[in-house]
Structure 1
Amino acid sequence: MTEETEEFSLPRSRQANERLHALIPGGAHTYAKGDDQYPENLAPVISHGHGAHVWDVDGNRYIEYGSGLRSVSLGHAHPRVLEAVRREIDRGGNFVRPSIVEVGAAERFLATVPTAEMVKFAKNGSDVTTAAVRLARAVTGRPRVAVCGDHPFFSVDDWFIGTTPMSAGIPATTTELTVTFPYGDLAATEELLTRYRDEVACLILEPAGHTEPPPGYLAGLRELADRHGCVLVFDEMITGLRWSEAGAQGLYGVVPDLSTFGKALGNGFAVSALAGRRELMEWGGLRHSGDRVFLLSTTHGAETHSLAAATAVQTTYVEEGITARLHSLGERLAAGVREVASATGVGDHLVVRGRASNLVFATLDENGQPSQEYRTLFLRRLLAGGVLAPSFVVSSALDDADIDRTVDVVAQACAVYRKALDAADPTPWLAGRPVKPVFRRLV
């Protein structure tokens, strides 16, 4: 491969993308997988994957990061997970009454996340975050939801999506009931709760993100929620298992009233979880004397093979020390990327951020501002070098050779990045339109 990425092309993927767009709105089932997130005509369509590697329909092999939008943390086709899934598939997958598999899955989850007392499973993250909001409103009798405005995504449902630039079709009366608070600022959050006194049903946030929570912050939120009578909800879609086996709540020692898990929980199989205090969760059950609450009711939420996958994933994490491995791999990758970025003079422009188990990167222009153009340039070079990396989020299937190869490819990309910075214009290296942010008002 020469320096110019124009020699790298994906003709079969391009044809497959055309077929996808003709049949599926957006050409993908998740906006973050859209071909607008990749350089023009360089959006691979995947044929298959194994471990930390995937192959596209053009026959190219890539080292993959952010696998399954961070859901595949053990690597593709993990043997312990597949064994558990195969064991259940031949025994039937969905019945007219609960399966004994549901009992085992719940016991395994509550043993892994001992800060929770009850759990209910579903298929995706939006199901359970919306259930948490509904439950908080039912318990408190309050209408408003306070979401952390610094965190990018909570649900596809109206209460959240109405607050994004993609709010078409959502009534303003719905959106007006969602208010925001800044991460790390207890004073601002208390001011919000005071302004909407006795109106806020819950505070919902990711307990940690690209930065660690400030000292005392999560405990301070716990105290604020208690004092103002609202429910504290931790969205642990990303932090669950990656921060610790018990999520961020297990790592930082602050117990929310409710928490939601997904992503890594199934290693790519469709499963999510709403967990929390028995006193609240029972509102969605049959063992209380109040009004019934429609908490969660999903036809496919108890599919046996997905729950078996979740059980196997959690067992693997605990028995094999997966969280520690993710951190070790991430630390090696971050150190390597920072070293080559600095050596090529772009250390202030290609910036690696986040916890080692959940690394992302920022691409900054010559003025130090976030740049989709420089992100496009960088992604083109990674793809040409056999690295598929919308982020640097690691899976445990990576090995040292994968990390070393990735760092070598990043070094090559950084050399081109430096040339574009010197020219103060990345356009000659884009070969098409820049990648686009997911949340935008216009197509």
Structure 2
Amino acid sequence: MNLTDFNTSRLLQAKAHALIPGGSHTYAKGDDQFPEEAPGFIRRGAGCHVWDVDGNEFIEYGMGLRSVTLGHAYKPVLDAAMREMVMGQNFNRPSPIEVECAEALLSMVPGGEMVKFAKDGSTVTTAALTLARAYTGRDMVALCSDHPFFSYNDWFIGTTAVSSGIPEAIKALTATFRYNDIASLEDVFAAHPGRIACVILEAARVEEPKDGFLHKVQALCRRNGALFILDEMITGFRWANGGAQEVYGITPDLSAFGKAMANGFSLSALVGRREIMELGGLTSSRPRVFLLSTTHGAETHAMAAAIATMEVYRSEDVISHLHRAGERLRQGIEQAITAHGVAGKFSIAGPPCNLLYSTLDAEGRPSQDFRTLFLQETIRKGLLAPSFIVSYSHSDEDIDRSIEAVDAALAVYRRALDDGIEHYLRGRPVKPVYRKFN
């Protein structure tokens, strides 16, 4: 199977770029993130399979930027959302399903005492910072520079190459440290005594916490009067039912969930200690925090989808499937890497539930050109795989077909290393999202 017919996508892409900056509403979905010979638009999905506007079928990995962990059009979730939707999605007063959804989430997250819902991860991570600043009376935030994305808001984007439009005064309020490097965080506190309101990081990504790193970060926060915040957008509903904080046995002051929580429906959540969260409530005697007042944050059908998703996690062993399927995929890919002699040039890393890959050139340097080639060749073989992050819908058959596609792609990768990539890559290479100029 070689998929190369993307004519309808090409026509639609021209229209999209005339109407939408970048042709997409999410940078990670943009045309600059995929080869020229790639599907431009996905029409529908079922399980882990998607079909583009030209009718080409792909096994998908990453699944909606990790938001669809059960599978596309997963029936129990769709049924729950539709039952709620026909009764109305939004009212002038709260719906009882808001209480039900809050109870369901807090029962899964260890140490969570209160929750407030919104629509996207950036909103709730930024709300966590607002609470931390109000609670501590401080203005600065420390974030982990090894974790690629926390928010589209100024406090994070100001630390990237795409910082145009963000005032220097805002940039100065964010400091950075390195993962598994407690000394780098100690340096941040030392450089800004009495100013760090909070520390935010993912519990883990590719690298596991070493030597009690997370607990050391929490202890350092407590000694310095800062709040400890975990971004569980990715780790939540993937590492364990209760998120990475359950796996690593740590309770943050605040944590942010989203993505897979409602299996692709738009819902995010800020979870935290009562005394902090109540600053945005009606009972605190301290100055009031305007916390997450969003018109669509409590849409009833999204909450129904979240409740149904959480019920699947409780009744079925979703997490074990993610780890088992990911491990089967990892082993097959590593065998293909060895078979084609590309060890050290192509690698796969991360826990089985969250596999990422790296592409290097013949000199061992990180290469966007070789990433593009790998994407190009896997697309030709029926994979849409910007990562190798599995879902509950990835079957053994899907995994085995994917390994065959990767094997074929790595055969081309090997030849490109030997002969020169210019003989195999068609079109321009992909580009990093964080870049100063196009």
Q: TM-score, normalised to structure 1's length?
A: 0.97
Matched, 1:171 2:181: no
Q: Which aligned segments of 4 or more residues in structure 1 are displaced greater than 6 angstroms?
A: none
User: 8 Å contact 1:374–1:426 — kept in the other structure?
Assistant: yes
Cα distance in structure 2, aligned partners of 1:304 and 1:280: 26
Tell me the secondary structure at the aligned position of residue 116 of structure 2: strand
Tell me the secondary structure at the aligned position of residue 332 of structure 2: helix
Cα distance in structure 2, aligned partners of 1:130 and 1:365: 38
% of aligned pairs identical? 54
* 2:66 match: 70
Picking from 150, 160, 172, the partner of 2:156 is 160
Aligned residue type for 1:344: H
* 1:439 match: 434
Q: CA deviation at 1:266?
A: 1.3
Picking from 300, 319, 326, the partner of 1:323 is 319
Residues 388-414 of structure 1 deviation map (CA, whole Å, 9 limit, x = unaligned): 001001011010110000000101011
* 1:36 match: 32
User: 8 Å contact 2:110–2:245 — kept in the other structure?
Assistant: no
Q: CA deviation at 1:41?
A: 4.1
Instruction: Map 1:92-131; keep pairs closer than 5 Å.
Output: 92-131=88-127
User: Aligned-residue CA RMSD in angstroms?
Assistant: 1.0
Q: CA deviation at 1:430?
A: 1.1
* 1:348 match: 344
User: 8 Å contact 1:352–1:362 — kept in the other structure?
Assistant: yes
Instruction: Map 1:164-203; keep pairs closer than 5 Å.
Output: 164-203=160-199
* 2:209 match: 213
* 1:407 match: 403
* 1:393 match: 389
Aligned residue type for 1:77: A
Tell me the secondary structure at the aligned position of residue 183 of structure 1: coil
User: 8 Å contact 1:35–1:43 — kept in the other structure?
Assistant: no
Cα distance in structure 2, aligned partners of 1:126 and 1:278: 22
Q: CA deviation at 1:364?
A: 1.0
Runs of 5+ unmatched residues, structure 1: none
Cα distance in structure 1, aligned partners of 2:305 and 2:4: 37
Tell me the secondary structure at the aligned position of residue 333 of structure 1: helix
Cα distance in structure 2, aligned partners of 1:83 and 1:114: 28
Paired residues in the alignment total: 438
Picking from 316, 335, 358, the partner of 1:339 is 335
User: 8 Å contact 1:146–1:200 — kept in the other structure?
Assistant: yes
* 2:259 match: 263
Instruction: Map 1:202-351; keep pairs closer than 5 Å.
Output: 202-351=198-347
User: 8 Å contact 1:14–1:42 — kept in the other structure?
Assistant: no
Cα distance in structure 2, aligned partners of 1:380 and 1:42: 7
Cα distance in structure 1, aligned partners of 2:174 and 2:184: 16
Runs of 5+ unmatched residues, structure 2: none
Residues 9-39 of structure 1 deviation map (CA, whole Å, 9 limit, x = unaligned): 3111111111111111111110000011111
Q: CA deviation at 1:215?
A: 2.7
User: 8 Å contact 2:4–2:37 — kept in the other structure?
Assistant: no
Aligned residue type for 2:431: K
User: More displaced, 98-107 or 359-368?
Assistant: 359-368
Residues 142-201 of structure 1 deviation map (CA, whole Å, 9 limit, x = unaligned): 011101011111001111111111111110110111010111111221121122110000
User: More displaced, 333-342 or 188-197?
Assistant: 188-197
* 2:10 match: 14
Q: TM-score, normalised to structure 2's length?
A: 0.99
User: 8 Å contact 2:58–2:384 — kept in the other structure?
Assistant: yes
Q: CA deviation at 1:347?
A: 2.4
Residues 254-286 of structure 1 deviation map (CA, whole Å, 9 limit, x = unaligned): 111000001111111000000010010001101
* 2:424 match: 429
Residues 295-348 of structure 1 deviation map (CA, whole Å, 9 limit, x = unaligned): 111000000000111111111112101011101100000110010111111122
Picking from 131, 138, 143, the partner of 1:142 is 138
